[in-house]
Amino acid sequence: MKTYWNTTKMRNGKYCRITFLSFIIIGSLFSLSGCNGKTNAVDLNPNSIFQYSTLSALLEGVYDGEMTIGELKKHGNYGIGTFNALDGEMVLYEGQCYKITSDSRVIKVSDSEKSPFAAICTFVPDTVIKVGRSLNLKEIKHYIDSVLPSNNLLYAYQISGSFDSIVTRSVPKQQKPYKRLIEAYKMQGVFTFTNQKGVLFGYKFPKYLKDVNMDDYHLHFLSIDKSKGGHLLNCVLSDGEISVAYIRNFSLRLPDNSYFNTTVFANKKEELLKIEGGRN
């Protein structure tokens, strides 16, 4: 059983020494307090998730919101979500917003575009785990789960490195009257890429917030050359780094439109399981 030491540069530009153990060993939990600092505007509130609308609303077809990308960016530099009319998958990465379309294009998005659902944060990892061998998505989840301090926190993740394979999806722009998500996702484009370098970013919410956001890993992919991406369905990570932020602050803003106000939220968990491909 080997113990490694590593020095990792955090998002705020400071360096922190982290401990990680070889695979299958519980990685040490790193205290953020020693390296967290306020160095720029988006670091004012690190590791606080700002979310617009709810998963329940999205499942019911509330696909239009008033939230602009520019407003979302005021709450952080990393995030995932979608766009009005369910027009593609969103990745906010290092302050730039990207849209992955249902025909697998990656487009830079302007600040004026609007979103019906997004979760944004300023990402400052608490734990960084080096991955030295091939892991499939099930193994990645199992491994991360084994190092988390609690099931009751919110978590943000970045998984960066080389992927032997990665399967993503994106849903095409919807026409009114909007279908529920269980119907809309049947029109999704599914993309399989091999030998990609890139980044997965996303969240896992606790079970008691499952109607607000997913109580399982929800990750979006962006390749390092910004040419490929989408909502993650499956992957094999060959080597890389898993960074985890523990989130204790969460703010939720709800849409201000009649569709959101009048929709009855069914909260059918089995639909989410289908949409997420059975959850790997």
Under rule CB under 5 A, which residues in 12-51 are in contact with Zn ion? none
Judged by CB, which is closer to Zn ion: 81, or 255? Answer: 81
Judged by CB, which is closer to Zn ion: 30, or 217? Answer: 217
Judged by CB, which is closer to Zn ion: 45, or 104? Answer: 104
Are 105 and 212 contacting, i.e. CB atoms less than 8 angstroms apart? no
Q: Work out how close the CB of 189 gets to Zn ion at its nearest, in angstroms, rounded to a whole number.
A: 13
Number of residues that bind Zn ion (CB under 5 A): 1
Q: Is the peptide bond before 255 cis (omega within 30 degrees of 0)?
A: no
> Applying CB under 5 A, which part among 45-53, 128-136, 137-145, 227-235 lies near Zn ion?
227-235
Per-position x/- string for 95-124, each x denoting binding to Zn ion as judged by CB under 5 A, each - no binding: ------------------------------
Indicate whether 231 belongs to the interface with Zn ion (CB under 5 A). yes
> What ranges in the chain are assigned the alpha helix state H?
55-59, 69-73, 137-147, 181-184, 258-262, 269-275
| Strand bridging mode 78-82 / 89-93 | antiparallel
> Applying CB under 5 A, which part among 5-13, 108-116, 165-173, 229-237 lies near Zn ion?
229-237
Q: Which residue is nearest to Zn ion (CB)?
A: 231
Q: Any idea what DSSP says for residue 22?
A: P
Indicate whether 169 belongs to the interface with Zn ion (CB under 5 A). no
Q: Any idea what DSSP says for residue 278?
A: T
Cα-Cα-Cα-Cα dihedral sign, residues 69, 228, 241, 135: positive
Give the Cα separation of 220 and 232 in Å (integer). 5
Q: Work out how close the CB of 220 gets to Zn ion at its nearest, in angstroms, rounded to a whole number.
A: 6
Question: Could you tell me the CA-to-CA distances from 180 to 91, 92, 186, 234, 259 in Å, in that order?
Answer: 23, 25, 11, 24, 13
Judged by CB, which is closer to Zn ion: 228, or 231? Answer: 231
Question: Could you tell me the CA-to-CA distances from 187 to 32, 91, 227, 276, 279 in Å, in that order?
Answer: 42, 20, 22, 14, 19
Judged by CB, which is closer to Zn ion: 18, or 57? Answer: 57
> Applying CB under 5 A, which part among 19-27, 163-171, 209-217, 230-238 lies near Zn ion?
230-238
Instruction: Report the SS3 class of residue 87.
Output: coil
Single-letter amino acid code for the residue at 248: R
> Applying CB under 5 A, which part among 13-21, 23-31, 157-165, 226-234 lies near Zn ion?
226-234
Judged by CB, which is closer to Zn ion: 128, or 272? Answer: 272
The residue to which tokens 């990207």 are assigned: 98
Q: Work out how close the CB of 177 gets to Zn ion at its nearest, in angstroms, rounded to a whole number.
A: 23
Judged by CB, which is closer to Zn ion: 11, or 220? Answer: 220
> Applying CB under 5 A, which part among 4-12, 142-150, 228-236, 253-261 lies near Zn ion?
228-236
Which residues make beta-bridge pairs with 96?
Answer: 93
Q: Which residues sit at the interface with Zn ion, rule CB under 5 A?
A: 231
